[in-house]
Chain A
Amino acid sequence: MAIGVNTDHKNGTFSIISSATGGEVKLSMQELMLTGTILPVGAVLRVRHVFRSGEDEPVEIIYAFGLPRDAALRRFRIIGDGFSVESELKPVEEAEKIYEKGIESGSLSSLARQYRDGVINLSVGNIRPGETVVVDLELIAGVELRDDGLRFRFPFTLAPTYHSQARSSGIGKGVGELELPPEFDNLVLPQWMKDAEGLHRIGFDLAVVIPQGVTEVGSPSHAIRFRHENDGHHRVVLAPEGDIPDRDLVLDVQTRVTGEESVGVTGGLMEDGRGHFALLIPSTLFRAGETRPARSSRLVFVVDRSGSMSGEPMIQARRAIEACLGTMAPGDQFGIVAFDDRIESLSESMLDGSQRSREMARNFLNMVDARGGTELAAGFMAAAKMLGAEGGDVMVLTDGQVSGTDAILATARSAGIRIHCLGIGSSSQDRFLTLLARETGGVSRFVTPRERVDLEAIELYASIGTPVASQIKVEAEGVDFAPAPPPTIFAGNPLVLFAESTGQTETVVHLAWKGADGQRKLDLPVSLSRRGEADAANTVRLLQGAQLITNLEAQGAKVGETRREQDRWQRMLSNLSLKYGLACQVTSLVAVVKRRGDQSAVIPKTMVVPVGMPGQTSFDAYFATFGSSQVDRSALFSMESSLRGYMMTSSPQISKSSDRDRLSRMDAVDDCLSVDAGHFALLREGSLFGLFSRQESDDPEPVDLLVQLAGQIEPDGGMPGGNSDERWIATALTLLAMLSEGHTAQAGVFRLHVARLLGFLRTATPPDAASPRRLFLEMVEAGTPPPFKDGLEKITVRGSAVLKEVQALERHWKIVEKSLVTRK
């Protein structure tokens, strides 16, 4: 639906006009504007909700949204014509009572209550006809940290989620309804619009304040404008005037790396004299001067094949696992579990990294397509069973779109396995997946389907394989650290410590850990300034509080827990909430505005703000829509959801593609959809996706080819070939291809692959010092590989990246060889 904005001169306000009907679209919420500051270890955010009633009676408007990771609501201000009132933090029952009493007496009342899974209902009741009311909500949120920067996510929509007892239905064209069972305490969920065009506008204007400096800010989700401000701050603004609520905002902030081992300190002393600071310690500090000994890995990939993963996420997840398998050595063991509401495993027990088992894995993955519900706990429990007493790691590839996450977390804790999460999706389940990884000692990453999910998976896989520190101990006199440090630090993932001190300006933090080479320790001097740092100190305090609250909330559901334990948990949560002044599951924010003319005789009409279906999630995966009970044969065969999902997401553009562009791609889909036997045969063989990946690789990017090459590395680290000669050449050229794209054995996404290719060449190269092969190896090891003039695409057979054509390979090796001679 196209939208125009009409200036209503009489009231001086804006209204939204539908181009289809020319009538005013009755929106209960007009606008959602995000402002605030992104700091090195978290963010302080303000969300402005503009509500305007288009009804001729008082209304009560409910807006539902999900919290970002490690987030808590702090307070809100409700503002209107002639009033501005701040919220109070109260226990849930009391807040509800205050709100209901306000509603009953006809007063403007507002309540922000958090339910399970970190979902909030913001209710504003008794908005008068034609009145505009603004709720300015402040929240504290965490960010995803990396050694070289951070990723910030903010949910502009709420993903529909799977729950085995959820009720869902399509209630008209492109509108879906989902309701959760009673244990979700009457949380009100919105209706989902397949097309979010007609909904409220969203926007953002954020400051990025990173003391060590920012090198780059980018967004894989929105078109942004980014500029340096005079005071060393940066500002990130949505480039278009407004956007639609159909996906999260994702911002990547790259920070200046001032030195391999630089520790970031944020915070200061509060007015009451107490110190609050956060330490950001890069993982490189833990492994400084270390050489990593080889270790064999035991890893089970757990793939979400629920309907919501259909399309590009599924394709990318599959490609990602194949590439990870390329780093497997013969001593490594792996398994694959695919789950929806049923479990399918590649094998009953772990497989070795042999060529045969990898071939089996490839065939298995080809059969995996997206379909049913999301029984995530069953998925990783199957993995835990496969790992058995020996233990190991689990990597979950999922969109995380599930409800009842507290119960899943409880199961995960009891499983005793380390779970690493690779979240895929355009709507935030980041909070849950962060907790799932943290509670089990793993690492979590969340990418949008528009990004290279496969590269991120390979990167995560490389991190998991490189734990740099364990048994971490941290101490400092007069300083309390909370939460406790994680059991393990992985390469690329920094350690964050939140601390509260008795007020000394100079502190030495003693850090001790077990590294790959044994026990190590380090003293970190920290000095806090007395002047002008009270704000920074308070911000750190709030970020610490939000994380402690989120962690404790995750402990809510325990297996076999008694009433007394539950009460104790509630008390602890309530105490934390009051200590930090942040709302949580057992406390809420409430405000009542008494105004002249409040009428108690009218019950407000309750309305729920609809949200957009998250960009890449298939609408039909959640909301079955059938116009009539008689479904014709062609509809039965419609592969619409998966095909459309794929075609829509294959767009490399970051900003929303134009309608024309989209329409032409839709036509392309419809061409593919012409029903014939050939398509069905493909579908049956599970090679439907193969069809598209072939199409796609007509014009592959270098990185696509690297992913495909990486997937072919054999267990001994060499590339496949007819004989040892061919294998040597194929391996050397693949290595050269990776090096030429900037990947080395130490750095880059393909660092494990480079190391394995090198390992193969070391054992397979004759010791004869004069041979060109030996020379090649020496040059590579010295960090001065021969130039790779021909480029990557030439060593690969067009479109398939298979190093099969022996003649072509030899020709290319000849070229490399010649360059060796000239250099000599």
Chain B
Amino acid sequence: MSREPENGERELSLSELAERSGTPPRTIRFYIARGLMDGPIKAGRGAIYSEEHLARLAEIKDWQSKGLTLTEVGRRLAGADRARPALGEPIGLFSYQIAPEVTVQVQANVSPWRLRQIQRVLRDAAILLSGEGEESFDDEDDR
């Protein structure tokens, strides 16, 4: 099925693309609909895809394995299309000001359940720092 055109780039059918990438055709269509990758070079029966599609699918998988959802992958890819940063991808951070002079940063890509745990700890810390809790650092110094 695959042909070797003059420019050396292999052309792939949807099923070949699916097989080589390990991504089912329906999922590939879903990615195209969501704007994560371009449609085929030539549509219709015997639609043609390229090595670039294959590379894009690998890239999506890679982002997914790093814990990003498709929406987040889409944002990264949109950024990557403009210019590939040499420094690697930036990590998003949440900033929590837990006291007037204290700011804590948490990586934004943690799972919600982990984030909730972190927030609990920060909340406790904020209470301690504000002196509103029953215990305060002063008490410990007195001991």
* A interface residues (Cβ-Cβ under 8 A, vs B): 60, 62, 96, 100, 103-106, 123, 162, 166-169, 171, 177-179, 182, 186, 188, 306-307, 340-341, 371-373, 599-608, 620-624, 626, 629-633, 636-637, 677, 680-681, 683-684
Which B residues, 91 to 133, have Cβ-Cβ distances below 8 Å to chain A?
A: 92-98, 108, 111-117, 119-120, 122-124, 126-127, 132-133
Interfacial chain A residues near B32, Cβ < 8 Å: 603, 606
Would you give the shortest CB distance from A6 to chain B, in whole angstroms?
27
- The reply to whether A123 and B26 contact each other, CB–CB distance below 8 Å, is yes
- The reply to whether B114 and A636 contact each other, CB–CB distance below 8 Å, is no
Chain B, residues 1-41, CB within 8 Å of chain A (1/0): the string is 00000000000001100000001111101101110000110
Q: State in angstroms the CA–CA spacing of A106 and B71 once bound together.
A: 28
- The reply to whether B43 and A602 contact each other, CB–CB distance below 8 Å, is yes
- The reply to whether B30 and A629 contact each other, CB–CB distance below 8 Å, is no
Q: State in angstroms the CA–CA spacing of A169 and B72 once bound together.
A: 8
Interfacial chain B residues near A621, Cβ < 8 Å: 112-113, 116
The answer to whether B54 has its CB under 8 Å from any CB of chain A is no
- Cross-chain pair count, CB within 8 angstroms: 132
Q: State in angstroms the CA–CA spacing of A179 and B15 once bound together.
A: 23
Chain B, residues 61-76, CB within 8 Å of chain A (1/0): the string is 1001001111110000
Q: A606-B26, A677-B132 are in contact. List 8 more A-B contacts (CB 8 A).
A: A167-B64, A168-B112, A179-B69, A341-B113, A371-B120, A372-B116, A608-B30, A680-B132
The answer to whether B82 has its CB under 8 Å from any CB of chain A is no
Interfacial chain B residues near A162, Cβ < 8 Å: 113
Say yes or no: A371-B30 contact (C-beta < 8 A), given A104-B14, A603-B39.
no
- The reply to whether B115 and A177 contact each other, CB–CB distance below 8 Å, is no
The answer to whether B134 has its CB under 8 Å from any CB of chain A is yes
Q: State in angstroms the CA–CA spacing of A636 and B97 once bound together.
A: 9
- The reply to whether A632 and B97 contact each other, CB–CB distance below 8 Å, is yes
Q: State in angstroms the CA–CA spacing of A473 and B81 once bound together.
A: 68
- The reply to whether A636 and B113 contact each other, CB–CB distance below 8 Å, is no
Say yes or no: A633-B112 contact (C-beta < 8 A), given A100-B15, A601-B44, A606-B29.
no
Chain B, residues 38-60, CB within 8 Å of chain A (1/0): the string is 01100111010000000000000
Would you give the shortest CB distance from B113 to chain A, in whole angstroms?
4
Interfacial chain B residues near A602, Cβ < 8 Å: 43-44
Say yes or no: A186-B126 contact (C-beta < 8 A), given A606-B32, A631-B94.
no
- The reply to whether B23 and A186 contact each other, CB–CB distance below 8 Å, is yes
Say yes or no: A104-B45 contact (C-beta < 8 A), given A177-B71, A604-B29, A606-B26.
yes
- The reply to whether A371 and B40 contact each other, CB–CB distance below 8 Å, is no
Partner of A171 from B25, B33, B71 at Cβ < 8 Å: B71
Q: State in angstroms the CA–CA spacing of A642 and B68 once bound together.
A: 27
Q: State in angstroms the CA–CA spacing of A307 and B111 once bound together.
A: 12
Say yes or no: A96-B24 contact (C-beta < 8 A), given A171-B71, A637-B123.
yes
Partner of A60 from B23, B29, B64, B71 at Cβ < 8 Å: B29
Partner of A636 from B93, B126, B133 at Cβ < 8 Å: B126
Interfacial chain A residues near B96, Cβ < 8 Å: 631, 636
Interfacial chain A residues near B15, Cβ < 8 Å: 100
- The reply to whether B40 and A620 contact each other, CB–CB distance below 8 Å, is no
Partner of A681 from B40, B98, B134 at Cβ < 8 Å: B134
Q: Chain A: interface secondary structure?
A: mixed
Interfacial chain B residues near A105, Cβ < 8 Å: 45
Q: State in angstroms the CA–CA spacing of A62 and B33 once bound together.
A: 12
Q: State in angstroms the CA–CA spacing of A96 and B108 once bound together.
A: 38
Q: State in angstroms the CA–CA spacing of A637 and B71 once bound together.
A: 28
- Can you show 27 pairs from A to B with CB atoms below 8 A apart? A103-B25, A123-B26, A168-B112, A171-B69, A177-B71, A186-B24, A186-B27, A188-B26, A188-B27, A371-B120, A372-B114, A372-B116, A373-B111, A373-B113, A601-B43, A603-B32, A603-B43, A606-B26, A606-B32, A606-B34, A620-B112, A621-B112, A622-B112, A629-B94, A636-B119, A637-B123, A684-B134
Would you give the shortest CB distance from B64 to chain A, in whole angstroms?
7
- The reply to whether B113 and A633 contact each other, CB–CB distance below 8 Å, is no
Would you give the shortest CB distance from B23 to chain A, in whole angstroms?
7
- The reply to whether A168 and B95 contact each other, CB–CB distance below 8 Å, is no
Interfacial chain B residues near A171, Cβ < 8 Å: 69, 71
Q: State in angstroms the CA–CA spacing of A630 and B105 once bound together.
A: 10
Q: State in angstroms the CA–CA spacing of A623 and B24 once bound together.
A: 27
- The reply to whether B64 and A307 contact each other, CB–CB distance below 8 Å, is no
Closest to B97 in A: A633
Partner of A371 from B24, B70, B113 at Cβ < 8 Å: B113
Partner of A684 from B24, B25, B61, B127 at Cβ < 8 Å: B127
Would you give the shortest CB distance from B121 to chain A, in whole angstroms?
11
- The reply to whether B127 and A680 contact each other, CB–CB distance below 8 Å, is yes
Partner of B29 from A307, A603, A620 at Cβ < 8 Å: A603
Closest to B25 in A: A100
Closest to A97 in B: B15
Closest to B22 in A: A182
Interfacial chain A residues near B43, Cβ < 8 Å: 601-603
Q: State in angstroms the CA–CA spacing of A7 and B116 once bound together.
A: 46
Q: State in angstroms the CA–CA spacing of A81 and B39 once bound together.
A: 30
Closest to A123 in B: B26
Interfacial chain A residues near B133, Cβ < 8 Å: 680-681, 684
Q: State in angstroms the CA–CA spacing of A188 and B24 once bound together.
A: 11
Interfacial chain B residues near A340, Cβ < 8 Å: 113
- The reply to whether B115 and A624 contact each other, CB–CB distance below 8 Å, is yes
Interfacial chain A residues near B70, Cβ < 8 Å: 177, 179
Q: State in angstroms the CA–CA spacing of A123 and B30 once bound together.
A: 12
Would you give the shortest CB distance from A705 to chain B, in whole angstroms?
33
Q: State in angstroms the CA–CA spacing of A600 and B47 once bound together.
A: 9
Say yes or no: A371-B117 contact (C-beta < 8 A), given A169-B72, A603-B40.
yes
- The reply to whether A629 and B112 contact each other, CB–CB distance below 8 Å, is no
Q: State in angstroms the CA–CA spacing of A106 and B120 once bound together.
A: 53
Q: State in angstroms the CA–CA spacing of A784 and B47 once bound together.
A: 84
Closest to A605 in B: B33
Would you give the shortest CB distance from A216 to chain B, in whole angstroms?
41
- The reply to whether A637 and B112 contact each other, CB–CB distance below 8 Å, is no
- The reply to whether A607 and B93 contact each other, CB–CB distance below 8 Å, is no
- The reply to whether A636 and B98 contact each other, CB–CB distance below 8 Å, is yes
Q: State in angstroms the CA–CA spacing of A631 and B120 once bound together.
A: 14
- The reply to whether A168 and B111 contact each other, CB–CB distance below 8 Å, is yes
- The reply to whether A629 and B95 contact each other, CB–CB distance below 8 Å, is yes
Interfacial chain B residues near A605, Cβ < 8 Å: 33
